[in-house]
Structure formats: structure tokens, C-alpha cells
Structure 1
Amino acid sequence: MESMFKDRFYYTHKANQLVLTAMLAHRDALPDKAFGLFNHIVNAHQIWNSRINPVQQPFGVWARRELDGESQKDRDNYAFTITLLETMDLESSVSYTNSSGKAFENQIADILFHIVNHSTYHRGQIATLFRESGLQPVATDYIMLKRGN
């Protein structure tokens, strides 16, 4: 299971970096919503990492920052997640409180799957905003990146 998650997080990181590069190249043509969504992808990943191992100080789930620093934050999230994969029992559960203050408990593997799925969902929303702005979105399909396209 660890190797599968390492592969999916490499994909997530690579796709995030491709989308961010395209967003920075077209920052004047994209709506503000696209930048908020990318901040949200990075913030949510960090929040979930800190729920598994609370050593990072997470940002608010919808906190806004300049995109210029998001590449490093995405790299930090990726590296931290790889460390979690190598050091945590993925079948163990963690208890946490969500952003609304409600308590939950989930298996680490389920949380990790959620991070990948959540990121993909919001990259799809960003791709739609590219199209609505008359721009070609970056191809981030898993299989295309896996083939090296």
C-alpha cells in the first residue's frame, strides 16, 4: 500500500506543479477564484498532514497567499506526506477535529486517499476556469503523466 500511495502523491505533486506553472504564466487572464482554489489545495493537504502528525502549523482551509510561494509549500507537503508514508501505520486511525469543530476518527490510508482525490477534484475546477478564460488547461490526467506525456 505504501508504494501505491507514494506513486499517487508523486502524481499529485507533479500535477500541482504543472497547474501552478500554467497559472503563474496566465495570472492576468485567470479569475481570482482559480488562485483561491489552488491555495485551498495546498492548505487542505497541509491540514490533513497535520491531522495525521501534528508537527506542522496548518493554514486556514481557505487562507489566501501569493501563488509565488505555493510551489515550495506544495513541495513541503509532498515531502512531509512521504515521511508519513514511511513512518506511520497506514491502517491505524487518527482522531481529529474538522474545520467546523466536529470530532472524527479515520484510518490514515483513507485520509491519504482523500488528499489525492480532493486535489484532483479542485484541479479539475481550475481546468474549467482555464477553459472559461479562453485558455488551454494543462493536461493532468494520471495515466498521461504516468506515460510521461
Structure 2
Amino acid sequence: MESHLNQLFDYNFYCNKELILQAKDVVDYPESCKRLFSHILNVHHLWNAAMLGEASEYTQWQIHAIEDWEDIHYNNQRTTFGLLRNTEDLSKRINYTTEKGNTYTTEYKDVLFHIINHSTHHRGQLLVELRKHNVEPLELEYIIYKR
């Protein structure tokens, strides 16, 4: 399980890194895309903080400057790999409270997979938004990454 999660986080890192590089090259990067990509970064950070039992520095929909994305992304990835290396049992459970005030308990492995799935979901939305703004979307499918 840990090996597969490591591969998925490598893929996640690659995709986000490519989108960051593309955003830096687009003159008028769409606000809707800044919002979506910031959200991807924020939620990854929020889950890392929850698994570490720490307070988050960001809110779900906080918007970051493109110039800050790379550092946030790198720190998210570094923190997640640290969690994967230092957690002996991925069925370990964390308690957390949503922004709506609901309390839940979830296994680490499910939270980690959620981070990947959530990122993929919103990257898809972001790519549609880029196309609407005449920016050619990148090919970020997993199978292409694995070739």
C-alpha cells in the first residue's frame, strides 16, 4: 500500500509541477484557475496538518499568488512523504472536524488517497477552464505519466 501511495504522490507532484510551470508562462492566467489550483494546494496542506495534529496555515479556498505555488507544493509533498515514511500502520485513524462542524474518523490510507483523488478531480476542472481561455491543456493522464 505504501509503495503504491508513494507512486501516486510522485504522479501528483509531477502533474502539479507541470501546471505550475505552465501558469508561469501564461500572460493572463485565469482567476478561476488560480482559485482551483490554490484549492488543490490548500486541501493537501489541510490534510497533512490534520494527520500531524497541527493547525493549518491555510483555508480551503484561500488564493495564493502563482509565485508561491511552487513552495507550497514542495512543502506539501515533503510533508506527505514524511508521513508515509514515519507511519508504521496506514490503518491508523485520525479524528477531524469539517468546516461545517461535523466530526469524523478516517484511516490515514483513505485520507492519503483522498488527497490524490481530490487533486485529480480539480486538475480536470482546471484543464477545462484553461481550454475555455484558449490555453492548451497539458496531457496529465496517469498512463501517459507512466510511459
1:77-102: CA deviations, max 9, x gaps? 00100010111121111101112221
- TM-score (norm: length of structure 2): 0.94
Change (3 A) 1:91 1:18: same
Whether 2:6 is the aligned partner of 1:35: answer: no
Secondary structure at the aligned position of 1:57 is classed as coil
Amino acid of the structure 2 residue aligned with 1:122: H
Deviation of 1:56 (Å): 5.9
% identity of equivalent residues: 31
1:74-128: CA deviations, max 9, x gaps? 0110010001011112111110111222111001100001000000011101100
Deviation of 1:130 (Å): 1.2
Change (3 A) 1:27 1:92: farther
Q: 2:94 & 2:17 partners in 1: Cα distance?
A: 29
Q: How does 1:42-121 map to 2 (within 5 A)?
A: 42-55=41-54, 57-88=56-87, 89-121=89-121
Secondary structure at the aligned position of 1:138 is classed as coil
Amino acid of the structure 2 residue aligned with 1:142: Y
Partner of 1:141: 141
Q: 2:49 & 2:40 partners in 1: Cα distance?
A: 14
Deviation of 1:27 (Å): 4.2
Q: Which stretch has the larger CA shift, 114-123 or 52-61?
A: 52-61
Whether 2:108 is the aligned partner of 1:125: answer: no
Secondary structure at the aligned position of 1:94 is classed as strand
Deviation of 1:131 (Å): 0.9
The CA RMSD measured in Å over matched residues stands at 1.2
Q: 2:123 & 2:27 partners in 1: Cα distance?
A: 16
Deviation of 1:35 (Å): 0.3
Aligned length: 146
- TM-score (norm: length of structure 1): 0.93
Secondary structure at the aligned position of 1:16 is classed as helix
Q: 1:15 & 1:111 partners in 2: Cα distance?
A: 19
